[in-house]
Amino acid sequence: MIFLGIDIGSLSCDAVLIDENKNILSSSVIPTGVKNIESIAKVKKNVLDAAGVMEKDILSIVSTGYGRNRVKERDRAVTEITCHAKGIKHMIPDTRILIDIGGQDSKAMLLDPDGNVVDFAMNDKCAAGTGRFLEAMARALEVDINQLGDLDKGATSDLVLSSMCTVFAESEVVSLIASGTEQKEIAKGLNRAIAARTNSLVKRIAKNTRDLAVSMSGGVARNRGVVKAIAESMNLERVNTPKLPDIVGALGAAIIGLEKRR
Amino acid sequence: MMYEHFDNTVKGIKDKLSQDPSGINARKKYVLELSRLGRKLYTKNETIAWCGVTAPFDLLSSMGVTSCFVEFVGAMLASTQTAGFFFEDAEDAGFATDSCAYHRAVMGAVLKNAMPEPDFIIGTSSPCTAGLAVMENFANQYKKDFFILNVPQNYSKDAIRFLSNQIEELTHFVSAHTKEPLSKEKLGMALENFNQSSKLLRDIYDLAKTKPSPVDNRLLRDFGVVMTLLMGTREGIDICQAFKDELNQRIKTSRHHASKEKTRLMWIQNRIQYPFPMDKMLDDLGAKIVIDELNTVTWEPMDPDNPFESIAKRMISIPFSMDTSKRIKNMQTLALDYQIDGAINPCHWGCRQGTGARGLVSKGMRDIDIPVLNLEIDCVDSRNLARGQIETRVEAFMEMLS
Amino acid sequence: MNKKIGFTCAYTPVPLIEAAGFFPYRILPETKAPDQAGHLLHDNLCPHVKKVLDRALENDLPDLEGMVFINSCDTMRRLADAWQVARPDDKIILIDLPSGMNRLSLDFLSKEYERLSRTLFKWNDQTLEPEIISEKIKEKIFQWNLLADSIKKIEEKMTNDFFPGYASGLQQIINTAATESIDQALAMAKSKIEPENPCKSLTAPVFVFGNLLFDPKVYDLFEEWNVQVVGTDFCTSSRFVTRIQTGPDDNIFRSLAHSYLKQTPCARTMDTTIPGSIAQRIVERAKKSNAKGVIGFTLKFCDPYLARIPMIRQALQKESIPFLMLEGDCTEGSMGQQQTRIEAFTEMLEV
């Protein structure tokens, strides 16, 4: 028995195949691109090929992400909030607060001990602190997005970027470069700014986070600098990240398919 | 923290005063009294009332109540650069960043227990809806008795009677808390002080009209609004007298020539509260703010025999709180009286009452050929300040005027 | 005939407009007129007022004999100011509205409503004896009370069972009363009260409150997203149709003032004896309507609501009632952006 979860985000399209014991058989992450119908077909083919199974073997397809209603063959569509909670519960069971920073929005979720969402908060319409924001900052710093995570190593100043609007922040970064501020200090300032914003999102759902395990999902969870800054800003020893943070939503979707089947 | 701030200011100025009694200028005297008020607000065993901007502070002080409008604290937090700390608390509690930062700063201070606990709260429906809402939040947070003065917008007999009756009820409300009845004699004295202060204020503003004006960009900033806290007291009269003397002295000694006056400006609404070198920038550009919109006396003398009605009329007749056509009319009169060349309107983010009329104000001033520079700025929250942009716009405006 | 008087606030006593021989016409913020109100006022004002002003600037309005404004908040005041510039030939009146209920406020508002009535009759060139005016007003109040009663019945029906399309249907009735005619609205209401078989309830019964939510399509969207609306509290929902309590010997203006000030007030109206009572009221209404969750929907830059949301959130939290806060701008697009939040909220309530 095989279950498929597909997460169609604004930047990436992710799929996960699981068996009836919630073991991950295969997963795939590809850019969403302009034509998401094509991306959906492609990511589905990727996971089927990788697991060596046929489409007819799939018992249920659950879609999630902002393009969830674009998956025609879905059995059900569930929001990414419920799916991320479900996925992280499987990957990091003791999670009580989940921060998901995706391509175009960021969310904080408060989970009960069983992994059910009890409250959540989403950022405003703007892209501040999200994947798209980081892409713009990487561009301004003239580094690859994947290099951004370690760029702050060795930074010592307490610089914090004051602008969080993508447009203003980009010009702030440019003027910092112009004034001779080191790249690592700017990167650190950037991470601190994102952390402050994330922290205020978390505070909207939980006033006291001291005894709650915090995890992070979504592509930005791969950025070590941001994760560390969030931990520092929340006074935590660590913020947990799963090995494959991009597929948390798709995994959650697949698990929901399995559980509903039962 | 705030107590120390006020206490240090009081001590600092008093030290200077003891060394050289004549070396203290009017502005210092004014700061000294405000700091004393601030210190009193943060002192135990005082009867404290947090109020809306247009509350009758003369009446309250005559009844032994130490009172202040909360926006004053918002401005203090901004000027001491501590507001940022409180914004975060307020925002985390759900107070929107779209709201007025004067109010957001004080709400943060309430949530952080950094505000003195009041004995009661007096909200006023003017000048703004948000100001009254913040008073309800105070009452809810502190679980203290709450009184509202509804200030109608239409200046009519019914409206004046309504407000006058409310003011009379307010005195019963206050008495119930202070356990002291209203003393007609003390109230009469406070109103007498108020009248004297008002008369001196008129003189001060008349002197400011002189060309070149003896004021500088700092001297009378936010003077009119804040002075209402002190005008019912002896100290209020002394301060006004000191300002009047200083202006006369400046005219006599031509000291005002030190500050250039290529362009004469009007500042609309309140000034920017956090450290921002606007005054210096204007100095450098040879521009002088000769009049602030709120530095004007629009009320008749208080009648001690008819105190509640006098106060009611005063409260209703503040042009800033009236409909925009009356507010504009007042600004046009000021513009002509002070012979200004242009006006700056800092469009305080989150202010529906004042900033909400931006377009109408610009149009009203254009009608008398006065250009207005609208600065999109938050006067209290400096976190999103686009400094370079503001500087460029001010410079360009001055180039245009000259 | 069919002379219309425009109005914008739920505190406008519409029976007075009708008694003076006019049709009340609520200017809803629904328009394709270009966005230009910000030039005359400021962009940081609530979209309700901006869109109403856009309609005035673009003349996207029926013929109006005059406008009634209520001084309910700063933004409404500014609208009245801007109206005089946008349409200088219109007759306008601004009624002062006290912020709470007490003896003095009641006296004053009675006088204000009386002034409104006098002005309206004058606008219609009528001079009548006070007794006749009072009778005319009573007649109109009777009709509006019929509508208020019908709406209450429909709401009770919605609280107990699920009738698909009822929430949007109810909104259509209220919009009809606000912009077309009370007779038409009464006829529409009648058909909704008649027996009908309910459907299986949706999994997420929700109480919805805020300032303005007048587009019936939005209520259909709610259902599509699994939200069963079991109660509402908006300036454009039942709050607009205020039941006026009158006794045979009561002064009619006093009855109006009393009913408008007392009944389900907007966030701007306060009870000084219970500061923050709006929060408790919403908790009570949510419980009474058997809601599993509460959705707050307010327009951006609405000071009265912005200031009360934290206390409402706190009160709901205390009662363990899940709360979702949404902000909109009167455009269809802004609702679409809320889909994920609303669906996630209902998924949360389902567990």
Say if residues C190 and C150 touch (Cβ distance below 8 Å): yes
pLDDT in tens, C201-244: 777 999 999 999 999 999 999 999 999 999 999 999 989 999 99
Q: What does the block give as tokens for B257?
A: 């020539």
Query: Yes or no: is domain B185-401 CATH 3.30.10.20?
Result: no
Q: CB-based contact (8 Å) between C329 and chain A?
A: no
- Report CA-CA distances (Å) from B156 to B153, B162, C72, C108: 9, 10, 18, 12
Q: CB-based contact (8 Å) between B348 and chain C?
A: no
Residues of A in contact with B97 (CB under 8 A): none
Question: In the predicted model, what is the mean pLDDT of chain C?
Answer: 94
How buried is residue C248: exposed, middle or buried, by Cβ count under 10 Å (0-12/13-18/19+)?
A: exposed
pLDDT in tens, C13-67: 999 999 999 999 999 999 999 999 999 999 999 999 999 999 999 999 999 999 9
Band of residue B284 on the pLDDT scale cut at 50, 70, 90: very high
Rounded Cα–Cα distance for residues C270 and B52 (Å): 15
**Binding-face residues of C in 48-67 toward A, CB within 8 A:** none
pLDDT of amino acid A102: 81
- Interface probe for C, chosen from B87, B144, B162 (most Cβ of C below 10 Å), is B162
Q: Which residue of C has its CA nearest to A256?
A: C347
pLDDT of amino acid C128: 93
Check whether B25 has a pLDDT greater than 80: yes
Beta strands in A34-155 (DSSP E): 58-64, 76-77, 95-101, 106-111, 117-122
Band of residue C10 on the pLDDT scale cut at 50, 70, 90: very high
pLDDT in tens, C248-304: 888 999 999 999 999 878 999 999 999 999 999 999 999 999 999 999 999 999 999
pLDDT of amino acid A125: 57
Residues of B in contact with C71 (CB under 8 A): 152-153
Contact A122 C341 (CB under 8 A): yes
Q: Which of C77, C96, C272 sits opposite B148 (nearest CB)?
A: C272
Q: What is the mean pLDDT of residues C300-317?
A: 95
Contact C340 A120 (CB under 8 A): no
Contact B150 C310 (CB under 8 A): no
Question: SS3 letters for chain B?
Answer: CHHHHHHHHHHHHHHHHHHCHHHCCHHHHHHHHHHHHHHHHCCCCCCEEEECCCCCHHHHHHCCCEEEEHHHHHHHHHHCCCHHHHHHHHHHCCCCCCCCHHHHHHHHHHHCCCCCCCCEEEEECCCCHHHHHHHHHHHHHHCCEEEEECCCCCCCHHHHHHHHHHHHHHHHHHHHHHCCCCCHHHHHHHHHHHHHHHHHHHHHHHHHCCCCCCCCCCCCCCHHHHHCCCCCCHHHHHHHHHHHHHHHHHHHHCHHHHCCCCEEEEECCCCCCCCCCHHHHHHHCCEEEEEECCCCCCCCCCCCCCHHHHHHHHHHCCHHHCCHHHHHHHHHHHHHHCCCCEEEEEEECCCCCCHHHHHHHHHHHHCCCCCEEEEEECCCCCCCCCHHHHHHHHHHHHHHHC
Q: Which CATH architecture has domain B2-179?
A: 3-Layer(aba) Sandwich (3.40)
Chains that touch A (3 or more CB pairs under 8 A): B, C
Check whether B258 has a pLDDT greater than 70: no
Q: Which CATH class is domain A94-241?
A: alpha beta
Same fold, A2-85+247-261 and A94-241: yes
Q: Where are the domains of chain B?
A: 2-179, 185-401
pLDDT of amino acid C121: 97
- Domains (ranges, CATH) in chain C? 4-132 (3.40.50.11890), 163-350 (3.40.50.11900)
- For A2-85+247-261, CATH gives 3.30.420.40
Residues of B in contact with C114 (CB under 8 A): none
CB pairs below 8 Å between A and C: how many? 30
Contact A79 C340 (CB under 8 A): yes
pLDDT of amino acid C198: 86
Looking at residue C243, the DSSP 8-state letter turns out to be P
Rounded Cα–Cα distance for residues A134 and A124 (Å): 16
- Interface probe for B, chosen from C68, C306, C313 (most Cβ of B below 10 Å), is C306
Q: What percent of chain C is predicted at pLDDT more than 70?
A: 99
Cα angle at B119 between B116 and B125, to 5 degrees?
95
CB pairs below 8 Å between A and B: how many? 13
Q: Which of C322, C343, C351 sits opposite A79 (nearest CB)?
A: C343
The pair phi, psi for residue C30, each rounded to 5°, is: -125, 110
Residues of A in contact with B386 (CB under 8 A): 168
Residue A39: half-sphere exposure toward Cβ, Cα within 13 Å: 22
pLDDT of amino acid C139: 96
Chains that touch B (3 or more CB pairs under 8 A): A, C
pLDDT in tens, A173-184: 888 888 888 889
Residue A196's H or E segment, with its range, is helix A183-205
Å between C178 CA and nearest CA of chain B: 26
Say if residues B35 and B9 touch (Cβ distance below 8 Å): yes
Same fold, B2-179 and B185-401: yes
Residue C223: half-sphere exposure toward Cβ, Cα within 13 Å: 17
Q: Which residue of B has its CA nearest to C111?
A: B158
- Interface probe for C, chosen from A66, A82, A122 (most Cβ of C below 10 Å), is A82
| ipTM for the whole complex | 0.95
Q: Which of B88, B92, B384 sits opposite A204 (nearest CB)?
A: B92
Contact A117 C341 (CB under 8 A): no
Contact B140 C96 (CB under 8 A): no
Residues of B in contact with A207 (CB under 8 A): 92
Chains that touch C (3 or more CB pairs under 8 A): A, B
Å between A251 CA and nearest CA of chain B: 32
Q: Where are the domains of chain A?
A: 2-85+247-261, 94-241
pLDDT of amino acid C43: 92
Q: Which of A162, A165, A200 sits opposite B91 (nearest CB)?
A: A200
- Interface probe for C, chosen from B134, B143, B150 (most Cβ of C below 10 Å), is B150
Q: What is the mean pLDDT of residues B228-245?
A: 97
Question: In the predicted model, what is the mean pLDDT of chain B?
Answer: 94
Interface of A with C (CB under 8 A): 66, 78-82, 116-120, 122, 125
Residues of B in contact with C112 (CB under 8 A): 158
Say if residues B365 and B359 touch (Cβ distance below 8 Å): no
- Interface probe for B, chosen from A168, A198, A203 (most Cβ of B below 10 Å), is A203
C317 C-beta neighbours (distance < 10 Å), count: 13
Residues of B in contact with C111 (CB under 8 A): 158
Q: Which residue of A has its CA nearest to C351?
A: A116
pLDDT of amino acid C157: 92
Contact B92 A203 (CB under 8 A): yes
Q: CB-based contact (8 Å) between C309 and chain B?
A: yes
Q: CB-based contact (8 Å) between A204 and chain B?
A: yes
Å between B335 CA and nearest CA of chain A: 36
pLDDT in tens, B65-124: 999 999 999 999 999 999 998 998 999 899 999 999 999 999 999 999 999 999 999 999
Q: CB-based contact (8 Å) between B124 and chain C?
A: no
CA dihedral angle for residue B364, residue B366, residue B371, residue B377, rounded to 10 degrees? 40
- Interface probe for A, chosen from C313, C339, C340, C346 (most Cβ of A below 10 Å), is C340
Residue ranges in chain A whose pLDDT is less than 50: none
Three-state secondary-structure class, residue C349 = helix
| Residue A28 amino acid letter | S
pLDDT of amino acid A244: 93
